[in-house]
Amino acid sequence: AIQMTQSPSSLSASVGDRVIITCRASRPIDNNLDWYQQKPGKAPQLLIYASSNLHSGVPARFSGTGSDTDFTLTINGLQPDDFATYYCLQDYSYPNTFGQGTKLEIK
């Protein structure tokens, strides 16, 4: 199975900051990488698919880049609503696999 290594596991930041989360695949996955946001007590929500495509309704301060093995999620101008846990997911091959998650907390 493809392993997804996500970093950092936790991050403290302030409103207005720029935050970068990375995911590395154990082997190339082309652009088949998605990013999800999960808030406590809520279901995950799709933010970005195909590495860089913003899902409908997601604010433009979220962006994604990368291909093959290295991917990043960037949040420009953190808003209070963005403090949550973020996961990457490779859907290139079965079994699909999530990164370990990044908990984004308020500094």
Contact set with another protein (CB under 8 A): 1, 31-32, 34, 36, 38, 43-46, 49-50, 53, 55, 85, 87, 89, 91, 94-101
Q: Is the dihedral of CA 98, 85, 78, 8 positive or negative?
A: negative
3: tokens are: 């392993």
For another protein, the closer of residues 19 and 97 by Cβ is 97
Strands lying side by side in the sheet with 4-7: 4-7, 18-25, 70-76, 62-67
For another protein, the closer of residues 15 and 26 by Cβ is 26
90: tokens are: 């490779």
For another protein, the closer of residues 19 and 32 by Cβ is 32
Cβ of residue 15: shortest distance to another protein, in angstroms? 25
